[in-house]
Amino acid sequence: GTMGLLAASGIAPAFAQTPKRGGKFTVALGHGSTTDSLDPETNVGSGFNSTFNFTLYNCLVETDAGGGWVPELAETVEPSADAKIWTLKLRKGVEFHDGRPLTAQDVMNSINIHRKEGSKSSMKPILEVISDLRADGDSIIIELVSANADLPFLLSSFTLPILPAKGDGVDWEAGVGTGPYKLTKFDPGVRSTFTRNPNYWKADRAFFDEVEILTVADQAARTNALVTGAVDAIDRTDLNTVDMLARAGNVEVIETNGGTHFTLPMNATVAPFDNLDVRLALKYAIDRQAIVDTILSGHGMVANDNPIAPTNRYFDASIPQRPYDPEKAKFHLGKAGMNDLKVDINIADAAFAGAVDTAVLYSEHAKAAGIAINVVREPNDGYWSNVWMKKPWTASYWGGQPTADQAFSQAFASTAAWNEGFWKNTRFDELLVAARGELDEAKRKEMYGEMQRLVTDEGSVIIPMFSNDTYAISTAIGHGALQTLWPLDTRRCCERWWRI
């Protein structure tokens, strides 16, 4: 309804009041696993990690409701004229939860754990843009290998929280940050509880006395918990029951499109997916519109095997949308020297709500092209550590990224830890670096256009759809203008909302 549209445009709802302090806030997420850890180096980048990190920690920079960035633990963020050297002056008087003062060393160590030799962090390849990181009094100087106009967005990532230094690493076992809430209990895959940080440096944030983040993988259970008042907010609402939920009376449903997309990555180094014609056959064998209509109940739009959404300023609208075309799929199979194909897809709804049904529907579409897709159901728990990027063909989901550079760097650069299609393309890698430092907008758009074409035509990730992000909030909870990149106020709900 109009409420969702208002929220999506970054306008505060009419009933927003002055925030009140007190009470408890409980949010139930469709993410989280018993394998989750407090170690920022092993952060898996799920909706749980982002919600948790924005509750416990701060970053150097944060994103705002308008899609821009504002300094967070940095007080000022200044680029050199060529965007190669950035100076970040740190805020004074910020304390960690245990009373330690925030220092330049804490910031340097918090970034360097992701850069160090042998780091397991998904951020390691992304932070290779940094050639030198040093302190100058209470400022941090970041020198880059090549210009990057988007560096502040990178520093706002929940995967780069600032923790207290310990030796040349960070003290992560203590679960201590500078953020709005202090951790009282961490039970991975089940629940995390927090109390308000009484010394929080932001006067206009952290209104609840207590916060609880639950993992409730079952969609019906999550929805029921909200309707009965057992929890105050949920993400990943069931798209089939969204309208019913909106009529419940005690619930506000928010629907935005920040570029969230669902993927079916194939390992390009493993047969038969190492054959481009096989990949193209599979791309033509899926009826994308049927998937959007059935799995998303229309709450989304078809995608073209490319992560850049039509809402992104660098989206290339000139690339033709790939249709469902079983004959074209057969033609590509023939070019690959096959007249039929049998393949497994290993899948669980942990990847995204409706993932298993998506694969089943896809297997029906593919029959017309002589392709037999065997749907192998995997358990939800442990899916991210045992199946995704381990089995040759799986499923996953990605939130929208604030920049085209981040979408491509995280999932398609040949060195990326989360290059889930194991795809390597020299031209793509060259363009990625060139576009990052290109300050001429028209040239930059052209480069991102060519990269989208390469990923669409040659890549090994099937991206059938962009999903609207729908989440729901109890009407007992107040909030301001909502950030639209990801659900739950771009996962800052605990810090920003209040009990009415």
Split at pLDDT 50, 70, 90, the class of 241 is: confident
Q: Is 350 helix (H, G, I), strand (E, B) or coil?
A: coil
Higher pLDDT, 372 or 150: 372
Handedness of CA 141, 147, 153, 154 (dihedral sign): negative
Residue 66 is predicted with a pLDDT of 78
Confidence of residue 249 (pLDDT cuts 50, 70, 90): confident
Radius of gyration (Cα) for the chain, nearest Å? 22
Average pLDDT of the chain is 93
User: 441 pLDDT band (50/70/90 cuts)?
Assistant: confident
Kindly tell me if the per-residue pLDDT of 15 is higher than 60.
no
Tell me: pLDDT of 11 over 70: no
What's the one-letter identity of residue 412? F
Residue 429 vs residues 146, 212, 405, 409, 435: alpha-carbon distances, Å: 14, 42, 11, 9, 10
Region of poorest pLDDT, from 4-18, 242-256, 385-399: 4-18
Contacts of 72 (CB under 8 A, 6+ apart): 58, 59, 60, 61, 62, 156
**Cβ neighbours, 10 Å, residue 81:** 8
Average pLDDT over residues 430-452: 92
Strand order across the beta sheet in which 139-144 lies: 74-79, 85-90, 139-144, 130-136
Respond yes or no on whether the N-terminal peptide bond of residue 402 is cis (omega within 30° of 0). no
pLDDT, position 7: 38
Which of 259, 194, 273 has the alpha carbon at shortest distance from 404? 259
What are the helix (H) ranges across 339-416?
355-367, 383-386, 404-411
pLDDT in tens, 388-426: 999 999 999 998 887 899 899 999 999 999 999 999 999
**pLDDT reported for residue 10:** 46
What pLDDT is recorded for position 65? 83
Angle between helices 426-437 and 404-411 (to 10 degrees): 150
What is the pLDDT, as a whole number, of residue 485? Answer: 83
Residue 13, Cα to own-chain centre: how many angstroms?
25
Residues with Cβ within 8 Å of 107's Cβ and at least 6 positions away in sequence, in order, are 60, 73, 90, 135, 140, 162
Q: pLDDT for 24-54, tens place per residue?
A: 999 999 999 999 999 999 988 889 999 999 9
DSSP string, 172-229: TTTT--SSSEEEEEEETTTEEEEEE-TT-S-TTS---SEEEEEE---HHHHHHHHHTT
> What burial class does residue 364 get, using C-beta atoms within 10 Å of its C-beta: 0-12 exposed, 13-18 middle, 19+ buried?
exposed
Look at residues 403, 404, 423 and name the one whose alpha carbon lies nearest to residue 413: 423
Q: What is the pLDDT of residue 16?
A: 53
CA distances from 498 to 208, 328, 400, 446, 478 (A): 6, 54, 26, 44, 5
What average pLDDT does this structure show over 201-217?
97
User: What is the pLDDT, as a whole number, of residue 8?
Assistant: 40
Q: What is the mean pLDDT of residues 234-244?
A: 85
pLDDT in tens, 141-185: 999 998 888 899 999 999 999 999 999 999 999 999 999 999 999
More confident residue, 242 or 454: 454
- Residue 439: is its pLDDT beyond 80? no
Other Cβ atoms closer than 10 A to 397: 18
Report the pLDDT averaged over residues 263-277.
Answer: 98
Asked if pLDDT for residue 445 goes beyond 50, the answer is: yes
